[in-house]
Structure 1
Amino acid sequence: MAFKILPLALVLLRMLAFQSSSRILQEASIQERHEQWMIQYGRVYKDPQEGEKRFNIFKQNVEYIESFNTDGNKPYKLGINQFADLTNEEFTTSRNRFKGYMFSSITRTPSFKYENVTDVPSSVDWREQGAVTPIKNQGECGCCWAFSAVAAIEGIIKLSTGELISLSEQELLDCDTDVDHGCEGGSMNDAFKFIIQNNGINSEANYPYKGIDGTCNANEDNHVATINGYEDVPANSEQALQNAVANHPVSVAIETSGSDFQFYQSGIFTGSCGTKLDHGVTVVGYGVSDDTEYWLVKNSWGIEWGEEGYIRIQRNVDAEEGLCGIAMRASYPTA
């Protein structure tokens, strides 16, 4: 049997045609996935140029997520979520507005009631004690500081009174404006200070969240909870933070820059992050899984992010400030 030998140029042309065909199929697949994603999250783009831009960002993010997940040695996974058509800069700019510099203007409390605690449980989950309200969603308003503070107050009120009440972040946005700046940022300690001076805070039902800065419309007669003070956890001590979390939820600030945080889906987060604190969250527990210690953290990005709105962050790392700076700026209200 005689075999026909194709000229090299023809072979190269056929190879290029095959590669081009593969790319077209891949593009079609990504395009289809993007369209399905748009339907799932109700995303509509104002013009074709914006649509093309968002598609290209989506494609790059999907490629990064899938490449990351092929590494079976990582203890956490990434997923395509509602933020998949945003660059990391767009994502962090619109949501992460913890203002760490504001701590310099706050009189830090000299006391720490759990300083001499020596015996704490090996694991804690305040959700199991009914001290954590369902996951909330701050949307594109940079008021993470309000959600962090409110979650800590909701926990302490439940443990003090036996009643879990969803409290109003919107009241903080609208009324706590002397130092904090609504969607433009703030700090948890200033929120605590405002609530003390304000003689309490409304419920979410009485003063619902709108996700934009508004005019203060609070009525002291409608306040359903109050606190009498707040304390700071000694900085750069995960043990001190554990002592506090063993007793109730605690507000903390962390750095959440980077695509791994944006697309975190499950597992214990051990990714690279620094100490430029930009986001307020609430530690509602801690534990151990597969010999890795972790903090259980309640976020305010909705239930479709992370583990139904939560993230587990590696605990007791070599750096004294903790992973992502979680032990640098921790505080809690007292009731």
Structure 2
Amino acid sequence: MSGWARALLLAAVLVVMACLVPAATASLHAEETLASQFAEFKQKHGRVYESAAEEAFRLSVFRENLFLARLHAAANPHATFGVTPFSDLTREEFRSRYHNGAAHFAAAQERARVPVNVEVVGAPAAVDWRARGAVTAVKDQGQCGRAGPSPPLATLSASGFCRPPADEPVGADARVVR
């Protein structure tokens, strides 16, 4: 190999290495950021894992869920996606804990439905229920079996925005003694 060819090869190797250094640095920074996000997640949600192997597995699940959240956020900038109390759960774990009866409901949705023709007269084109105070913050009810009286009472309270009863103010679920 001539001196000129060696110099060209050396220059090419140096250019490739110069390109790889920022990529390696960015990867290292991303891992540090992920580790700090995972540490913050564990502290905020009281997560303590039984072994280093389980923690490594949960970190990999957390990484995958964070990646999916970023994909969803890029696809829908009007919604908020990110770290949640469920970020260290696999899809299967989440489904087994929080989708009580999901198979039954999915089958019911696939059944044929009878169309109902109703004539709507005098309805507004749109109603902003947030402005009327009908929309409340999301409440974590845990598993469906532990929901208690909140969902039915919230439904009854919300119906008051359509036609308020004379003796029952909105917000009845807040007065129920649990």
Normalized against structure 2, the TM-score is what?
0.63
Q: Which runs of 5+ in 2 are unaligned?
A: 109-115
Conservation of the 8 A alpha-carbon contact between 1:154 and 1:164: yes
Deviation of 1:149 after TM superposition, in Å, equals 3.0
2:160 pairs with 1:154: no
Aligned mate of 2:105, from 83, 100, 109: 100
Aligned mate of 2:86, from 68, 83, 92: 83
Q: 1:129-278 alignment to 2 at 5 Å? A: 129-131=132-134, 134-139=137-142, 141-143=143-145, 147-156=150-159, 159-160=164-165, 161-167=167-173, 203-204=175-176, 206-207=177-178
Q: 1:300-315 alignment to 2 at 5 Å? A: none
Structure 2 distance, partners of 1:77, 1:134, is 15
Q: Aligned in 2, Cα 1:166/1:68: closer, same or farther, shift over 3 Å?
A: same
Deviation of 1:31 after TM superposition, in Å, equals 0.9
Structure 1 distance, partners of 2:63, 2:144, is 26
Q: Which runs of 5+ in 1 are unaligned?
A: 104-111, 169-202, 208-335
2:32 is aligned to 28
Structure 1 distance, partners of 2:58, 2:32, is 16
| Structure having greater relative contact order (Cα 8 Å, sep ≥ 6) | 1
1:275 is aligned to none
Structure 1 distance, partners of 2:157, 2:107, is 23
Conservation of the 8 A alpha-carbon contact between 2:62 and 2:88: yes
AA aligned to 1:85 is D
1:286 is aligned to none
Structure 1: 4+ residue segments shifted above 6 A: none
1:220 is aligned to none
Structure 2 distance, partners of 1:91, 1:52, is 19
1:119 is aligned to 122
Conservation of the 8 A alpha-carbon contact between 1:133 and 1:151: no
User: For the pair shown, which has the larger CA radius of gyration, 1 or 2?
Assistant: 2
Higher fraction of helix:
2
Normalized against structure 1, the TM-score is what?
0.37
Higher fraction of strand:
1
Report the aligned-residue RMSD: 4.2
Query: Aligned residue pairs: how many?
Result: 160
1:52 is aligned to 56
Structure 1 distance, partners of 2:130, 2:148, is 21
Conservation of the 8 A alpha-carbon contact between 2:72 and 2:81: yes
Conservation of the 8 A alpha-carbon contact between 2:69 and 2:82: yes
Residues 175-207 of structure 1: per-residue CA shift (max 9 Å, x gap): xxxxxxxxxxxxxxxxxxxxxxxxxxxx53x12
Conservation of the 8 A alpha-carbon contact between 1:133 and 1:164: no
Deviation of 1:49 after TM superposition, in Å, equals 1.9
